[in-house]
Structure 1
Amino acid sequence: MASRARLEDRECPLSTTVQHVGEWWTLLILHDAFDGYTRFDQFQQSLDISTSMLTARLKTLVADGLLERRPYQTSPVRHEYLLTERGRSLRPVIVALAAWGNQHLAPEERSMILVDAETGEEAEPVVVDAHTGRSLADSDAYVFAAGPAGSTGMRARYAELERQRRTRSAEVPAS
């Protein structure tokens, strides 16, 4: 598919991530896997997804290393789909997406919330910097920059954005 090929050519880590989890069925399958579903019929019943679509998505998730396909029955052969370490590492992303969605709903409109498994108290997920504990929600405090593998074009892009930020901050009068 042409759009996927264009994503593969981009050097941005966001396009790489979208390539793996960008389809909404993928996120829903992963969400069910985090809830403990492992079998084809469980996913199909939960998601009300066609057999062909589920087969294709599971095949892609296995190929991408997010799920592992393992036989659990020999006669007839049946497989289960287990989260890999790479797949489990997506849990904070899924939690953050669900929390973002819930932020835009009235509390009584939320069909699913994240709770502390022990206390049942609703959790309020935030994304923080592991080094400082500061929230990454402040778009002025944290910005993207070219990484070690950044191309000349990527370095130029972020050098220009940094120049623009400095210009803007120099123009803002001190309070």
Structure 2
Amino acid sequence: MLPDPLHPAVVHFPIALAALVPLLAVLVIVAIGRRFLPPRSWWLIVVLQALLVGSAWLATETGEDQEERVERVVAEGLIEEHEQAAERFLWVAAIGLALIALGLLPAGRGSAGRWLGTAASIAALAAAIPVGDLGGKLVYKHGAASAYVERASLRGADPGHDNGDEHRDD
């Protein structure tokens, strides 16, 4: 069964991949340059960037699906700012995928493509940071998660509220 809401369950994948891809890209470039790995090893970076783009798309879609409900508790402008940052991130990551794929070209063009792709992956990481920051602020500063908290749960979470669940010795 899928989590409900789904958005919080998927948003961490693109952020983690955005941090991982540039690091691994540099390591693979160095390993190829020292002949520890063949140039075809760059496929790993292409696949990881494709997963980043796919997970960023899924995070964007699930966020849009849940936007209306969260707007009941958080100002629409704050949500729009997060959404626009997410869309920018998705576009930067997708363009980065095309540039990273250039690293699969043969010989010198492939080497130049790998460096260009690595620069693009760093740009994707830079675009991911405000998305995560704004999303975190929506949840922890502006209370977006409260859109999914049942009223009865809120009462039961109050330590001063007697909900009858405590064991009593009479």
What band does the TM-score fall into relative to the shorter chain? 0.3 to 0.5
TM-score (norm 2): 0.37
**Higher strand fraction: Structure 1 or Structure 2?**
1
TM-score (norm 1): 0.36
